């Protein structure tokens, strides 16, 4: 051991061992998490890569496994995401603006709203399905089992995510910007519209895309509100019947497979398409965030 105070000693071997042990533990956890996901992915790729081709994308579903494709489901999902986005962006952003910029925190009703948004984000998705069935498909709006109802239901499901992400994005805009704007004589709305919101767009966009990424994979609510399981046409309007990719995948998995018609590769291929779509959306989110990120 070096003499005290003369040279900078190395940490004791006990401390170094603990440090190493901690690192190894972290790596082990990481390996487990990624490993499991990796295994699932590899499994899907092995099963489905063979069936994934342009015919698969362009065909509708069929009893004959060889001829079955995912077109209706793919377009159904795309329509649903469109409706969902058009709903959650204005409603979510407006709510986030209200809660962050206008609401007086000391008022009890604002605190109630705040608390409940967190709760709503945790409600199981099937509950939203029931909600959609009761109020959108039947009930007051009586839309029927159509794309509009499906999109709105999914929208309601992920709306809390958009609101929360929107609030974070707005909160990340420094108050000095608001002060600077107000000090020049801008009204609160002018400040929000011209300064705060533009600066918060990257965060909001990321939140929207993450919300859509969640919505894209939701199955239970769509089933409850009556999405078709087997349909041979793409949606043509908001009032069309529809299906969605998770439903189609579920359908294929639940069919009995035999030597003549093996639906498992189809399901795997469907999963791959879904994953690819997800990766693309998240890629856009990351690109948007990096491109427009503001270093304050």
Partner 1 sequence: MVIGQPAPKSAEERTRARREPIFHLEGVSVSYGDKAAVRGVSFDIARNEITALIGPSGCGKSTLIRCLNRMNDLIPSARVEGSVLYHGQDLYGSEVDAVEVRKRIGMVFQKPNPFPKSIYDNVAFGPRVLGMKGDMDEVVQRALQRAAVWDETKDRLKANAFGMSGGQQQRLCIARALAVEPDVILMDEPCSALDPISTGKIEDLMLELRKDYSIVIVTHNMQQAARVSDRTAFFTVDPEDRVGRLVEYDDTETVFTNPGDPRTEAYVTGKVG
- Alpha-carbon distance of 272 to 47, in angstroms, equals 10
Q: Between residues 142 and 190, which has the closer beta carbon with respect to partner 1? A: 190
Tokens describing residue 122: 């945790």
Q: Specify whether the backbone of 107 is left (phi greater than 0), alpha (psi in -120 to 50) or beta.
A: beta
- Of the residues 2, 119, 176, 258, which one makes contact with partner 1 according to CB under 8 A: 176
Q: Between residues 62 and 294, which has the closer beta carbon with respect to partner 1? A: 294
Q: Between residues 10 and 107, which has the closer beta carbon with respect to partner 1? A: 107
Interface with partner 1 includes 23 (CB under 8 A)? no
- Alpha-carbon distance of 138 to 131, in angstroms, equals 10
Options 172-180, 203-211, 222-230, 257-265: segment touching partner 1 (CB under 8 A): 172-180
Beta carbons of 266 and 252 less than 8 angstroms apart: yes
Which residues in 92-151 contact partner 1 (CB under 8 A)?
104, 106
Per-residue binding string, partner 1, 277-296, x by CB under 8 A, is -----------------xx-
Minimum Å gap between C-beta 84 and partner 1 is: 30
Interface with partner 1 includes 199 (CB under 8 A)? yes
Contacts of 207 (CB under 8 A, 6+ apart): 92, 161, 162, 164, 165, 166, 168, 169
Length of the chain: 296
Options 26-34, 50-58, 85-93, 174-182: segment touching partner 1 (CB under 8 A): 174-182
Minimum Å gap between C-beta 185 and partner 1 is: 4
Minimum Å gap between C-beta 274 and partner 1 is: 37
Beta carbons of 229 and 72 less than 8 angstroms apart: no
Which residues in 39-78 contact partner 1 (CB under 8 A)?
none
Beta carbons of 52 and 270 less than 8 angstroms apart: no
- The helix/strand/coil state of 240 is coil
- Alpha-carbon distance of 267 to 246, in angstroms, equals 9
- Of the residues 17, 63, 179, 254, which one makes contact with partner 1 according to CB under 8 A: 179
- The helix/strand/coil state of 110 is helix
Options 28-36, 141-149, 176-184, 225-233: segment touching partner 1 (CB under 8 A): 176-184
Interface with partner 1 includes 181 (CB under 8 A)? yes
What is the longest distance spanned by two Cα atoms in the chain?
A: 84
Beta carbons of 222 and 250 less than 8 angstroms apart: no
- Of the residues 50, 90, 139, 174, which one makes contact with partner 1 according to CB under 8 A: 174
Residues that bind partner 1 (CB under 8 A): 104, 106, 174, 176-187, 190, 194-195, 199, 294-295
């Amino acid at each position: 051991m070096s003499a005290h105070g003369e040279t900078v000693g190395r940490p004791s071997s006990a401390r170094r061992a603990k440090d190493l042990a901690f690192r190894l533990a972290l790596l082990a956890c990481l390996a487990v998490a990624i490993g499991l996901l990796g295994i699932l992915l590899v499994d899907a790729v092995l099963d489905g890569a063979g069936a994934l081709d342009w015919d698969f994308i362009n065909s509708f579903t069929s009893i004959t496994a060889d001829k079955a494709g995912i077109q209706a489901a793919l377009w159904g999902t795309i329509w649903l995401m469109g409706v969902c986005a058009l709903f959650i962006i204005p409603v979510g952003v407006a709510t986030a603006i209200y809660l962050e910029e206008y609401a007086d925190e000391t008022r009890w009703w604002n605190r109630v709203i705040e608390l409940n948004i967190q709760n709503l984000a945790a409600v199981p998705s099937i509950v939203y399905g029931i909600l959609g069935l009761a109020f959108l498909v039947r009930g007051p709006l009586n839309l029927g089992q159509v794309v509009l109802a499906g999109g709105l239901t999914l929208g309601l499901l992920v709306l809390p995510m958009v609101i929360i992400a929107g609030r974070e994005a707005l909160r990340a805009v420094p108050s000095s910007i608001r002060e600077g704007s107000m000090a020049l004589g801008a009204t609160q709305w002018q400040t929000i519209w011209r300064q705060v919101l533009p600066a918060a767009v990257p965060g909001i966009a990321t939140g929207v895309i993450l919300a859509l990424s969640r919505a894209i994979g939701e199955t239970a609510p769509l089933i409850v509100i009556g999405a078709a399981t087997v349909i041979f046409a793409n949606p043509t309007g908001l009032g069309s019947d529809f299906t969605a990719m998770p439903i189609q995948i579920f359908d294929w998995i639940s069919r009995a497979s035999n030597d003549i018609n093996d639906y498992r590769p189809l399901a795997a291929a469907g999963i791959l398409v879904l994953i690819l779509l997800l990766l693309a959306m998240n890629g856009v989110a990351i690109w948007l965030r990096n491109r427009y990120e503001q270093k304050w």
